[in-house]
Structure 1
Amino acid sequence: MRALGVSLCLLVSSNLKAQCHIYHNIKGYTPVFGSTELKSFDWLKFESGKVEATGTKQNLTDNLGNCKKHDGKGQYMLPGLFDAHAHVSGLGKEMTRVNLRGVESESASAAKVKEFANANPQSKWVLGRGWNQVLWLVKEFPTKTSLDATGVKRPVWLERIDGHAAWANSEAMRLAGINRDTPDPPGGKIIRDENGDATGVFIDTAMYLIEKKIPPMSSLELEYAFDKAYEHLLALGLVGIHDAGITQPEIDSYVKRAKENRLPIRIYGMLAGSSRDLDRWLDAGHIKDDKDMLSIRSVKLYSDGALGSRGAAMLQPYSDDADNKGLLLTKPRDLDQLVEKIISKGFQVNVHAIGDRGNRIVLDALEKTYKKIGGRELRNRNEHSQVVSLKDIPRFKELDVIASIQPVFATSDMNMAEDRVGPWRIKGGYAWKKFLDQGTIIAAGSDFPVELANPFHGLHAAVTRQDRDNLPKGGWLPDQKLTPQQALIAFTINAAYAAHQEKTLGSLEKGKWADFILVDRDVINGKHEDIWKTTVLETWIAGEKKYQKQ
């Protein structure tokens, strides 16, 4: 493996204070690498940004020394949380655009577009995200007609909540040259009316037909979006993000900030496998700094689409759409070649897979590459592992594939998932406990901005299998509930393991970075139904306070 010409290790200076600190009067929990149980503690000692010790009230006096004391006032301490699959710039962009999350109808969504356009007359395009037709009374895709009726003359482009479909007005379609004769691209679909005309909704790769016309963000706009995202994430107790599918502008920002000690949160970057820059990135080698603030050593690929837009690739037709088996975003032969190339360069492969066919194709590609050139030690990952054939679940263990999961997906999708795949296939859907029971490592995240970034929503969903109204009673597919201990491990040490960082991150063990949060309730032994209500009081990274609730 060739490293970059200039190692960040030489460029990042350490300005951590060497003073000893003790955080006491707390009720703490931490995973211990290799154990399925949590360790409890009453105080934490750290120095030069790293954990020195944890202990009980009985041995506190012997460890005080000349340490600076911090009184936790009886609150609860956890290791800083990770989101093992998310999109940082996507979150920042969402915070500066039309937000349609939770809007209950097409007409109300169009009204929000008009309101945003009137408030932002300088924007050349009106961009937004978050609509979800499954939540509307009429559960059908929207059309350009409602957007055109707003009177907004600028092009409008609104991504569905999962990012696998988008809704355009006529002006956006005109700029892209979309007409009746425009063919569906491989791996994509243009929704059309009975006359064959495009209605305004574009699925998966068809989205690129219009996206290529959207002016790129300036570096100043990107940095502003990042700043908005970082501030939000730290307030939620997140200390590290696995950023799924980064491109050159994002890489440049991360590297520059890391060099200048201005990267406020830990980033594990997955390179965008669809980029024309992929070969150049692979040849350049891994990127890593000496404080574990930035690591780029993996590639994000796509197998299929999403379940909500019926783009997830299924082995048999959708139960609620008999002529549709979903979409493959990468042909199996092409995926085989990409997996082999990436692994041959020493990079971890992380593949988006939602449907049972999409998941099988990923497992097949990894198995072929392992037999040909090896690569198990790279801890390759299946991103989402959402609806998996019961025959294929054991293959995750056989192939040492990490299941990167998003617990909130289960509770967000429970209103439509069984309708999509039927009562038999759903037995392999959102099956987190089946993975754990066979010894598969699961790393947890949210896929924000598809879901809200709050990790306590994910912990709650994993433990209860309920929404934040604590419905349905007893939980959806309750046999797949995780314990609070299992859920916390998935958001901490397992996420660190999935990034090759378990020796320095993910738990409050001696010698690791002192990344921790103080919260207002007991998420391990408290009421399960209240986990989602957790408030973060403080967030610390490498022994430095990055956030304090006002």
Structure 2
Amino acid sequence: DRAVERMARAAAARGLVGLVDLDMTWNDEPWQRRVARGFDALRVSYGTYPQDLDRAIAEGLRTGDPVRGATTGLVRVGPLKAITDGSLGTRTAACAHHYPGEVDNHGLLTIPPDELVDLMTRATAAGLECAIHAIGDVANAYALDAYARTGAVGTIEHAQLVAHADIPRFARLGVSASVQPEHALDDRDMTDAIWAQQSAQPYPLRALADSGANLLFGSDAPVAPLDPWAAIASAVFRTRDGRDAWQPHQRVDIDTAIAASTAGGSTSASEIAPGARADLVIVEADPRTADERALRAMSVRTTLLAGRVTHAS
């Protein structure tokens, strides 16, 4: 819990006011405990995994409800998290075309499609939104199919390789794309090598945005640093370390990247107005005119959570 508190202070210093906690455990109990200790540095939405879905339903957890025992609404119940395939680096992301040199390897579906539909149906009936991990194009197609069949509300986590025909389905189904722009640069060389023969689009940020999909930027910390400015810079410039931009046609503009870094996402930009939630960040320079290095190094002067200062420099 002390480590979580240190993380929250460091996050506030980078301008964060909230996060989604998808730690692979029963998260309800730890957050009850942390709130009882006085945790108040971030807004937190915490997930539940399939092995604990029956318990969550039995205990009446519903997405958006404050964690039990809380006197504020900073920490709330989040989605059901389900992992439907593997990853690029392990060659287990479920893809339409086989991996190089492995004609029988198309990746791995870790949850059969019918089982995924059942999980999402039960979660939706109990008032839980969904967050579905899907990296390969086959996994993304099945996840979108499951949203269509169940009417569930939520996100696809990662969406790293998406068939061109499936890109418009995000917006049509109201499914948000919870993406990590830094991963595109972490994986650029591996993607060019391992997914060279795939016909789907890797890391399709611009294509998703142009189709009307809601983008929600994240870090996947601790896989990548918990730093929104790194994600924004990667999305806008598609490069770091002086290399040429990778797949520059999938860049997004700075306004889209900033909106995608807020709670509502790219299609629901936050506002500064009387009566609006006073989660505010004051920075040293204008992000709209910053180059890639300046965006990554953006200095945060002050972070406010519900009008209360959580960081000041």
Under a length normalisation based on structure 2, what TM-score does the superposition of the two structures give?
A: 0.91
Question: Pick from 199, 207, 230: which aligns with 2:8?
Answer: 230
Query: Could you say if the C-alpha distance between residues 535 and 423 of structure 1 is closer, same or farther in structure 2, counting changes exceeding 3 Å?
Result: farther
Which of 236, 247, 251 is matched with 1:477 structurally?
A: 247
> What secondary structure does 1:456 align onto?
helix
Residues matched between the structures, number: 307
Partners of 1:258 and 1:293 within 8 A in 2: no
Q: d(CA) in 1 for partners of 2:159 and 2:224?
A: 16
Q: Which amino acid aligns with 1:278?
A: L
Q: After the TM superposition, which parts of structure 1 deviate over 4 Å for at least 4 consecutive aligned residues?
A: none
Question: Against the structure 1 CA distance between its residues 523 and 470, is the aligned structure 2 distance closer, same or farther, given a 3 Å change threshold?
Answer: farther
Provide the residue aligned with 2:43 in structure 1.
266
After superposition, the C-alpha distances for 1:201-236 in whole angstroms (9 at most, x for unaligned) are xxxxxxxxxxxxxxxxxxxxxx12212321221121
| Residue of structure 2 in register with 1:508 after alignment | 272
| Cα contact 1:314–1:355 (8 A) shared by 2 | yes
> Which residue of 2 is the match for residue 401 of structure 1?
175
Asked if 1:326 corresponds to 2:107, the answer is yes
Match of 1:352 in 2: 133
Shift of 1:260: 6.0
Matches of 2:198 and 2:104, distance apart in 1: 19
Counterpart residue type for residue 275 of structure 2: G
Q: How does 1:47-446 map to 2 (within 5 A)?
A: 223-245=1-23, 247-248=25-26, 250-258=27-35, 261-273=38-50, 275=51, 277-283=52-58, 284-286=60-62, 287-288=65-66, 291-319=72-100, 321-370=102-151, 375=152, 378=153, 380-422=154-196, 425=199, 428-446=201-219
Q: Are 2:233 and 1:456 equivalent residues in the alignment?
A: no
Larger radius of gyration: 1
Matches of 1:320 and 1:418, distance apart in 2: 15
Shift of 1:316: 1.8
Rounded Cα–Cα distance in structure 2 between residues aligned with 1:382 and 1:485 = 22
Residue aligning to 1:491? 261
Distance in structure 2 (CA, Å) of the matches to 1:510 and 1:246: 39
Q: Deviation at 1:383?
A: 0.6
Tell me how far 1:326 sits from its aligned partner.
1.2
Q: 1: distance between equivalents of 2:6 and 2:103?
A: 43
For structure 1, the residue ranges without an aligned partner over 5 or more in a row are 1-222
Change (3 A) 1:320 1:479: farther
Find out whether 1:522 has 2:298 as its counterpart: no
In 2, the alpha carbon distance for the partners of 1:269 and 1:438 equals: 29
Distance in 1 (alpha carbons) for counterparts of 2:220 and 2:134: 13
Measured in 2, the distance between the counterparts of 1:297 and 1:548 equals 29
Paired residues of 2:131 and 2:155 also in contact (CA < 8 A):
yes
Once the two structures are superposed, residues 267-322 of structure 1 have per-residue CA deviations (whole angstroms, 9 ceiling, x without a partner) of 0112122x2x3212123132326743112141111110111111111122013543
Q: Distance in 2 between matches of 1:488 and 1:451?
A: 19
2: distance between equivalents of 1:527 and 1:539?
22
2:293 pairs with 1:536? no
Inter-partner Cα distance in structure 1 for 2:98 and 2:304: 48
Write the distance in 2 (CA, Å) between the matches of 1:389 and 1:437: 15
Amino-acid identity (%): 29
Aligned to 1:59: none
Tell me how large the CA RMSD over aligned residues is.
2.2
Which 5+ residue runs of structure 2 have no aligned equivalent?
none
Structure 2: distance between partners of 1:514 and 1:259: 24
| In 2: Cα distance, 1:363 partner to 1:528 partner | 33
Please give the alpha-carbon distance, in whole angstroms, between the structure 1 residues aligned to 2:37 and 2:6: 19
1:457 to partner: Cα distance? 0.6
TM norm structure 1: 0.53
